[in-house]
């Protein structure tokens, strides 16, 4: 499933403003013309929506060099705009994790993460039982992660490598508090994608990236 396919799913927002926010979330900074093309409208109509969203503090513009002439205006989500895609029960989750760590110790928290890792891996392996190729497995993994709220898509990079892209992290607060969750998720990916497959995280939301991106290669 590609990023473009994700924007066409039944759960996609319907208002023009929400569709713009979704497009910026999925693709990063875009010009009004690029947004108009993605939404099937004009660049001017998209720009008018962007101006309203900027007044609400949800988007901001930046000017990037575009060869000769005036710099192109690109629009991106602000922190307030990013918050429209919320971390699931963030405050409560962090409070619980902090309590576990403080009362029961770090070892107890590690055991919980390990148990979650094992359960997730078993579910993914069952779902991938009929997958034959690495491409099939990456595609199925993207479907599973998308269903869990990660806005995930399988892509092919410029060099032909497979990529798993996650445009959102529904457990970001928990992962920020304890990056053992990120380590465990990467380990699950490595285990379910098969022996001899390398998984490299090249973008990381917790590390300040716009999204999490994993480059996936078979051993040559």
56-90 pLDDT tens trace: 989 999 887 766 767 889 998 888 888 777 666 67
pLDDT band (50, 70, 90) for residue 11: very low
Alpha carbon distance 215, 206 (integer Å): 17
Q: What is the pTM of this model?
A: 0.72
**pLDDT score of 12:** 46
Alpha carbon distance 154, 3 (integer Å): 8
46 vs 79, residue with greater confidence: 46
Q: Are 98 and 106 in contact (CB under 8 A)?
A: no
Which residues have a Cβ under 8 Å from the Cβ of 174 and sit 6 or more positions away? 87, 90, 93, 94, 97, 181
């Amino acid at each position: 499933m590609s990023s473009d396919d994700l924007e066409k799913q039944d759960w996609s927002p319907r208002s023009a403003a929400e569709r713009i926010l979704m497009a910026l979330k999925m693709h990063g900074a875009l010009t009004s013309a690029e947004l108009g093309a993605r939404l099937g409208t004009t660049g001017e109509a998209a720009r008018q929506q962007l101006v309203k969203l900027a007044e609400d503090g949800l988007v901001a513009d930046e000017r990037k060099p575009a060869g000769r002439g005036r710099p192109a205006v690109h629009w991106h989500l602000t922190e307030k705009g990013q918050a429209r895609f919320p971390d699931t029960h963030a405050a409560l989750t962090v409070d619980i994790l902090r309590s576990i760590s403080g009362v029961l110790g770090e070892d107890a928290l590690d055991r919980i993460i390990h148990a979650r890792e094992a359960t997730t891996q078993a579910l993914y392996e069952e779902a991938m039982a009929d997958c034959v190729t690495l491409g099939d497995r990456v595609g199925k993994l993207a479907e599973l992660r998308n269903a869990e709220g990660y806005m995930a898509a399988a892509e092919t990079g410029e060099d032909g490598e497979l990529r798993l892209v996650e445009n959102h992290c529904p457990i970001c607060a928990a992962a920020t508090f304890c990056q053992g969750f990120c380590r465990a998720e990467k380990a699950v990916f490595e285990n379910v994608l098969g022996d001899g497959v390398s998984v490299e995280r090249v973008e990381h939301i917790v590390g300040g990236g716009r999204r999490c991106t994993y480059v996936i290669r078979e051993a040559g």
